[in-house]
A = this chain, B = another copy of it.
Amino acid sequence: MSNTIITIGREHGSGGRLIGRKLAEELGYGFYDREIIAMTAKESGFTEEFVSRMEHTRTSSFLYSIYAATREMPLTEQVYLVQSNIIKEIGAKENCVIVGRCADYVLRKEPGCIRAFLHAPIEERVRRVREFYGEDRGTEEEVKANILKMDKKRAAYYDYFAQRKWGQAQNYDITLDTRMGIDTAVRILKTVVEEWKKE
């Protein structure tokens, strides 16, 4: 039987990392979020900082596509490829929760892959980011602008590599508004996994 893999796409500030980690703990599964960056860096020879930046420089601009066409394989594609292989290896190795990195798309052919997407109203995310995320300092307006910028980058990265819309319900097995609370979201996702395994 194939491993059970829960992939979590998420809006910035929706609590995706926290929910993913709690879910993994409760299920006794492996947990992979930024860990994948370190693994990709090690495998590719690029630095972690560079890999992390590549994840957020994907654009759908016309100029970029011209630039990309002039190269054998642009750096973002190289990083994506290494990262995708690492994600496939993780999924083949153990039951796990993987946050971000188009993992739902990379593992689309895995029968044991449950694709989740988490989001929350922007006010809720501003509150959460200011309260819990060390890196987001500034006025409420600045934090909000930064969150929306992060979302835009994630959407562009996903839309480019997965060739479909980030946050479109039809691309996921389950999506949740995390305004219902972190623990509630974890319990619901756990129910989904348990139900899934019954099938």
Once bound together, how far apart are the Cα atoms of A85 and B60, in whole Å?
Answer: 43
Number of copies: 2
A80 proximal to B (CB < 8 A): no
A172 adjacent to B177 (CB under 8 Å): yes
A188 adjacent to B184 (CB under 8 Å): no
Q: Besides A172-B175, A174-B188, A188-B192, 9 other CB < 8 A contacts?
A: A119-B169, A174-B175, A174-B176, A184-B195, A184-B196, A184-B199, A187-B195, A188-B188, A188-B191
* Chain A interface category by residue count: 20 to 34
Once bound together, how far apart are the Cα atoms of A5 and B184, in whole Å?
Answer: 18
A168 proximal to B (CB < 8 A): yes
B-chain residues with CB within 8 Å of residue A117 when the two chains form the complex: 169
> Whose C-beta in chain B lies nearest to the C-beta of A173?
B177
Once bound together, how far apart are the Cα atoms of A117 and B171, in whole Å?
Answer: 13
A74 proximal to B (CB < 8 A): no
Contact among B172, B184, B188, B195 with A169 in the assembled complex (CB-CB below 8 Å):
B172
